[in-house]
Amino acid sequence: MGLLDAKIGLVTGAGQGIGRAIALSYAREGAAVVVADFNRAAGEETVQLIEQAGGVAAFIYGDVSKEESVAATVDFAVTRYGRLDIACNSAALSRGSGLVHEYERGVFDQTIEMCLTNTWLCMKHEITAMLNTGGGSIVNISSNSSLRGQAGNTPYATAKAGVNILTKSSAAEYGPHGIRINAVSPGVIRTPGLEAYFKQQPEMADELANRAVLNRLGEPQEIAEVVSFLSSDRASFVTGQLLSVDGGGAVR
Ligand SMILES: NC(=O)c1ccc[n+]([C@@H]2O[C@H](COP(=O)([O-])OP(=O)(O)OC[C@H]3O[C@@H](n4cnc5c(N)ncnc54)[C@H](O)[C@@H]3O)[C@@H](O)[C@H]2O)c1
């Protein structure tokens, strides 16, 4: 018996990193998974990995910051598998950072679009599908960057803080309709993007690891375990919560 047996799931940004780990975990726990990403090769590879492990998955290409793509993605899940039970909105892309008085407006606007507006768009269409079948569970991926002031990273931190209150407010709206909505806030997680950064700045590996009281980086799988739990019926009385999965980084 898996945590998510017979569920139909959708994971955005499932082509690599945390999103891929979540898609693999959903499938391992028994869900059929729609893998959504705008990197076709990466998304198709995630599906292959799931199928090689004996799971069920299908890829859909699209940019989840565009409403027509989001509508097509949710429609694909419902058409192919009959309904949508669980969804994790993990796709995000920062368009830049810097000091507030120095970066251009486009950096702020596009980061909000790729990290916050996309999450709202996904929720809008996921919720519509879930209302049609009597309920479901959504997990949004936030970031510890949203929890306290973070110099030099205001567009991303602001967008992720928006994800937090979007999660809580919408949980209040849809709880009565059987839809639970939570968020997970990762600390520093060892993803391909971070590994590339460490190649340029190796000294950052220890510094970032030491932000966690467990004195190490997290693994994508450690985020995925928590997302699968929150998505599952085991978390049936949990909604509107923001859970940091960060090796204790938020308590420092
Ligand atoms: N890695 C970390 O340490 C860390 C820490 C805190 C929060 N997070 C959050 O976790 C999530 C995943 O992070 P990651 O490090 O695995 O990211 P990543 O950059 O490694 O992977 C993101 C994936 O999402 C896809 N994607 C991005 N925007 C998309 C869009 N608009 N439409 C479709 N696909 C899109 C990319 O193609 C990629 O496959 C993000 O929400 C990120 O903000 C990551």
Closest by CA to 35, choosing from 78, 73, 92, is: 73
Is ligand 1 within 6 A of the CB of residue 188? yes
Rounded CA-CA distance 20/15 in Å is 5
How many A from CA of 176 to the centre of ligand 1?
A: 31
Q: Helix H segments across the chain?
A: 17-28, 40-52, 67-81, 105-112, 118-132, 154-174, 192-200, 203-209, 220-231
Is ligand 1 within 6 A of the CB of residue 64? yes
Token pair belonging to 39: 């990197």
| Residue from 11, 37, 89, 146 to probe ligand 1 pocket by mutation (most atoms less than 8 Å from CB) | 37
Residue with tokens 């309920």: 135
Kindly list the domain boundaries of the chain, sorted by start residue.
Answer: 8-190+222-243
Q: To 5 degrees, how large is the angle CA 243–CA 245–CA 246?
A: 130
pTM of the model: 0.98
- Which range (23-32, 197-206, 218-227, 229-238) has the least confidence? 197-206
Is ligand 1 within 6 A of the CB of residue 72? no
pLDDT reported for residue 26: 99
Region 117-142: what's the mean pLDDT? 98
Please report, rounded to a whole number, the percentage of residues in the chain having pLDDT higher than 90: 95
Is ligand 1 within 6 A of the CB of residue 193? yes
**What architecture is domain 8-190+222-243?**
3-Layer(aba) Sandwich (3.40)
pLDDT in tens, 79-122: 999 999 999 999 999 999 999 999 999 999 999 999 999 999 99
Q: Phi and psi dihedrals of 238, rounded to 5?
A: -110, 115
Strands 242-245 and 32-37: unpaired
Region 11-33: what's the mean pLDDT? 98
Is ligand 1 within 6 A of the CB of residue 119? no
Torsion of CA 48, 115, 245, 181, to 10 degrees: -90
How many A from CA of 91 to the centre of ligand 1?
A: 5
Q: Phi and psi dihedrals of 11, rounded to 5?
A: -125, 120
| Residue from 63, 70, 191 to probe ligand 1 pocket by mutation (most atoms less than 8 Å from CB) | 191
Rounded CA-CA distance 12/18 in Å is 10
pLDDT in tens, 186-213: 999 999 989 988 999 999 989 999 999 9
103 is catalytic: no
In this predicted structure, the answer to whether residue 1 has a pLDDT above a threshold of 90 is no
